[in-house]
Amino acid sequence: MSIGDLSLYANLGSRRWIVPVLGAFKEDGKIRFAQITHRLSLGSESLKRTLDALILMGWVERNTGYGHPLRPEYLLTDQGVKVSKIASDISIALCQLKLEPSHMTRWSYPLLVAIMSGNHRFSDLEAALQAASPRALTQSLKKLVESGLVLRTVENAYPPQTHYALAGRGRMLAKTLVSEN
């Protein structure tokens, strides 16, 4: 697994609404602002911030040749088309697991992939995700454990050793992430 893959997953988790908004583009690669707000029951300010972030990432662009400036339309870029397929699959998996997008943090997706690839100790995860602070990793792992996606076991040794493994639900979501790359 390359570090580029992990940064893709970190970008997918960087804002609460990135995965659902990208998933909304699935049908034809373009969508109007009003359609997204209606489809996701999303406030216009949250959507504007999410779309601005997606434009900065290079996944979405504004359709300059479309209609009225107060009713903008957005298009997926070539890279955005690939990422929207992943986002759509993640949205479906989250729905099946009965998890809201708010259950996932910026580092949730990279952590699931790293644990699936064999990193089971905190130090291994920290080495795999060098861009994440130890505090961010700790908080993300706690949230994944609370959501039932990751299992945490502590060995009764000196010093105590903590191991992380994917629960069945976590394995399902991690396979969704990895199957697209």
pLDDT digits (tens, 9 = 90+) for 4-45: 567 888 899 888 899 999 988 876 788 888 888 888 888 889
Q: What pLDDT does 3 receive?
A: 45
* DSSP tag of 101: G
Q: What pLDDT does 152 receive?
A: 94
Average pLDDT over residues 136-144: 95
pLDDT digits (tens, 9 = 90+) for 51-93: 999 999 999 999 887 767 677 889 999 999 989 988 989 988 9
Q: pTM score, two decimals?
A: 0.84
Reduce the DSSP state of residue 81 to 3 states and report it: helix
Helix (H) or strand (E) holding 152: strand 150-155
SS (H, E, C) the chain: CCHHHHHHHHHHCCCCCHHHHHHHCCCCCEEEHHHHHHHHCCCHHHHHHHHHHHHHHCCEEECCCCCCCCCCEEEECHHHHHHHHHHHHHHHHHHHCCCCHHHCCCCHHHHHHHHHCCCCEHHHHHHHCCCCCHHHHHHHHHHHHHCCCEEEEEECCCCCEEEEEECHHHHHHHHHHHCCC
Q: What pLDDT does 5 receive?
A: 67
